[in-house]
Amino acid sequence: MRLTLAAVGRLKAGPERDLVARYVERIATTGKGVGLSELALRETEESRARRAQDRKTEEAGALRVLTPASARTIVLDERGGSMTSDRFAGQIAAWRDSGVRDLCFLIGGADGLDPALRDEAALALSFGALTLPHQLVRVLLAEQVYRAISILSGHPYHRQ
């Protein structure tokens, strides 16, 4: 299954970018063994529209363009549900095993996601009710994808 992370905004040079790169490398190395590809990163510019809803609508359109046509989508959204790392790994495995070829994670801009995009997603996932910069959400997501691969690989997981 191919993995894509599509996000609004550019990840600038710095510690967040370095951490994402480290997890992307780990995912590429270990994912093949469990039928998962490397995590492809795709970015789009933030909208410059004046109204927040217009920005969200424009950004949703740009994220749709970055999403593979047949992808199952997971949006990262503060209104989404939370899950354990083990359950997250299980959900990814269930989609992989049912023949899903593409899984795309979507991260919105500063104003969040357009509700229509959130409604289209197979899963809305939250890393908590706190507001987090989208750069940190990328780091957290990349780490959790790597952790899911580790769990699926049978690597001992201390929370089981």
- Bridge partners, residue 73, by sequence: 104
User: What's the CATH code of the domain at 116?
Assistant: 3.40.1280.10
Cα–Cα distance, 61 to 6 (Å, whole number): 12
Structural domain contains residue 144: yes
The residue range of the domain holding 113 is 2-152
The domain tally of the chain equals 1
Cα–Cα distance, 37 to 88 (Å, whole number): 17
Structural domain contains residue 160: no
Cα–Cα distance, 94 to 155 (Å, whole number): 18
C-alpha angle 66/120/143, rounded to 5°?
Answer: 60
Q: 65-123, pLDDT tens digit by residue?
A: 999 999 999 999 989 999 999 999 999 999 999 999 999 999 999 999 999 999 999 99
Structural domain contains residue 158: no
Structural domain contains residue 157: no
User: Global pTM?
Assistant: 0.94
Structural domain contains residue 110: yes
Structural domain contains residue 118: yes
Q: 50-71, pLDDT tens digit by residue?
A: 999 999 999 999 999 999 999 9
Cβ contact 47:94 at 8 Å: no
